[in-house]
Amino acid sequence: MWDELWPRFGEYEPVSGWTWAQLDGWWYPCPKCQWPMRVSKAGAVARVECEAHAARGVRYSARTGSGTPTMAPPLQPSGRDAPIVTGLPATNEHMAVARPVWRYVTLPGVLECEIRDHVTALGADVEMWPDLDSYDVRVKVGECEWRIDAKAWASPIRLVDALRAKAPEGTLHIVLPDHQGGVCQALEEALKPRAFLVRTASQVKTEMSDEARRIA
């Protein structure tokens, strides 16, 4: 199915052309989304972090020139959620989806899969991309149902503008990354009277866990 959908969103691009993601000829995939992390150099020290997940603690530092032709400069974790990441050679053989695909397909997909895995462990009913992808995830725990549309937009204002054009049938949960929790209430207020409930991924997973414990 994905092989048929990809042409709608754009092609893969070689990481070799993305100089902003390279340190001494190497690149580093984010441990959360696998997209190349950004490298910012300041003298002998480089900062390596995922543009989307740095706020969640996916941040590293490295010394420039510390690698070899066969070994990437080692990363030192500087964030609270920074597992070991091994560098890969920035050659034409390493490809990544274009930025729009990463922003609007990959990042929401990470949230969708996190929710799926969480509710599967609870023994809940879960369906991915129901009704020809009219929304992202349908979850049912007992008699409670969540219809979820995961969003990972950098601009809450643009997200509101996009959602105002939608007319959901019934309540639709808009799920944001945890680091955007501070805008949930404002977004929900801005979207009234439409039937949107705005939650972070952690909040909606907690709601599902609480319901699962209630009916156990």
Strands (E), the chain: 12-14, 26-27, 38-42, 45-49, 59-63, 76-77, 88-89, 95-97, 125-128, 137-141, 144-150, 172-176, 196-200
Domains identified in the chain and CATH numbers: 12-96 (no CATH), 99-215 (3.40.1350)
pLDDT in tens, 139-195: 999 999 999 999 988 888 889 988 888 777 789 999 999 888 999 999 999 988 888
pLDDT in tens, 68-101: 889 999 999 999 999 999 999 999 889 899 998 8
Q: What percentage of the chain reaches a pLDDT higher than 70?
A: 95
pLDDT at 118 over 90: yes
Q: What is the pTM of this model?
A: 0.79
